[in-house]
Structure 1
Amino acid sequence: MRIGIIGAGALGGTFAALLHRAGHEVEVTARGAGLAAIREGGIRISGGFGDVQARVEASERLTRRPDLVLVCTKAQDAEAAIRANAEAIDGATVVVVQNGLDGVDTAARLLPRSTCYGMLSIIAANYTEPGTVRVTATAESFLGRGDGPPDDEARRIAEVLSQAVPVTAIGGFLGAQWTKLVVNMVNAVPAIVGRSVQETLADRRLRLVVTASMRETVRIGIARGIRFGALQGLDDRMLRRFARMPLTIGQRLPRRLFGYLGPVPNLGSTQQSLRRGQPTEIDFLNGAVVRQAEAIGADAPVNRALVGLVHEVERDGFLPAERVVAVLRR
């Protein structure tokens, strides 16, 4: 199958290399040093899925019409990237592999002739050098759209992608997106203090802030009428119980949730962007919680504060842990 991958960072690079290894014809988009590195030496991945060096076609925009497209940019770059490639991809099946809640709707709006799905990936990977990805934790990915059951096309695409990484077509995708949003609340605090996820969660004070942002996300989701999907050991019943817990008890959830990361330091996607000198997608993670709260006349003070701190780090560099801990005293 001819597969186009828009954005060859941590996940895009991983999917590109593994789909190429599975025998598919892969073209990726990249920019700057990333594009130069891929053209010179291909995409190199190591870690959980093995060592692969994939010589794939690469350009700033897709040059040929693909059968299947994976949009793997950061959430804030998705609209511009889809617009730039719209002529080549409108009418193809499109899978948006992104954090946040808006990706599938954005793709469907810009590509009226395409069938658009979302994919939730829990794969942990570090991309800190152009063209090079280290997979620090493997995991199953989940594909779907909307609230209904998976359709035949979703199952077909899941089978194709499973030739590279395990992918399952699921129903109730919107609820699963919210569960993934809860999981992604782990990104902000490590990015603010410049520590790995493991180091952050080992610090009780910082772990309480992560817990507070997760609990606030669940509470806003409940107020919005969301039924959380089963993902990464979480489900609707568990999250509703978590929403009622005091922080001191609730902190067990992030510790257990990220126990699978192992000893290899994982920076989280937000911090990786910072270390590359790029804007983060914080407005589509913690910021999405703030917007969802505003839509029902509520507030999300913990997540609002973390958004502000990440933007401060984007300007001025990492902050001391005390600045994060102070969020809970506001």
Structure 2
Amino acid sequence: MLNYIWAGLIIVSLVFALASDVGDIVRDTYRNADPLPVRIEFERPFDAEAPRQAARLVVDPIAFRQFYGVTDGAPEAAYEATLRATADGTPELVLTEDATLPAPLDVIRDATNPRDNILQGTLQNVTISGDGTAATGGLQFAPVRFVKMGAITTAAIDFAEVAVTIAIGLIGVLVLFLGLSKIAEDAGIIHALVKLVRPVLRPLFPDIPPDHPAMGMIALNLAANVFGLGNAATPFGIKAMEELQTLNPEPDTATDSMAMLLALNTASVQLIPPITLIAILGIETNNVYFPILFTTIGSLIVAILAAKGLSKLRRYRATNPNRDGRTVPAVVSTDSEG
């Protein structure tokens, strides 16, 4: 179901992006065919033979707003730039990297030169002053079209790469902690843990038979979350869901116990802040410790009440795989009992 939701969101975002980009083309938001009126000031008199010269770009705020049809934002008093000649001899003005630009110049820069993060354009109808220290003309930028579609496409590719990186990084973590959980199960530690946590977790998971390994995995998962060990919580949570699935008479429908486990994971109490947060904030983590603690306690209470309350509604009771006491017989290995 989530796959369909994500696919729907992507399609909707693409439709809105396309509509917005078409609107920009119709309104000629970026003035692709018209040069922006500018003034160029030179530190030294203009030399037509020089391959490049230091310059300052000056854009009149009133002319800028009229040209782009905007009411907010204005260019700075001047921008440091370099005047150079292209391969065909056309004068080209290149602003310094990361210059602070108003909209839509910042969008033009990001769309035409995202890697170098510089704004550049060719000069047209240039008129040099008598002393050669200034010039006027028009600055023509590369055409800009389908900005939002390009941004969505780029973001999709970038986050796909991030997803693969995260997935590969989790392989080692999953192997390590799933291996440890198997050792603990074979050594009887899980069975002992089940007996220890049964009085606490039994009211939350009444459908789980006594001494079932799922209870131990749930305890390990919740403990890892409580102590801020997110990487350890993931494999334990997966293993707990696998154990709960063995009790599910309808494998394609989540049971109340599965829903409760998901709710507890989503709103787990954080007695110890996550390691990532400590690495980022350092000692400043103390300033957010109690807000995190109280917030997660509140969210945990709400999650438990919501899961319990919804499970009592007729609509959800009718789809509960364990309705009328139906369940898959629990099979507990003799190894874990020893």
Q: Calculate the TM-score normalised by the size of structure 2.
A: 0.21
Bigger fraction of residues in strand:
1
Larger radius of gyration: 2
Q: Which has the higher contact order (CA 8 A, sep 6+)?
A: 1
Bigger fraction of residues in helix:
2
Q: Calculate the TM-score normalised by the size of structure 1.
A: 0.21
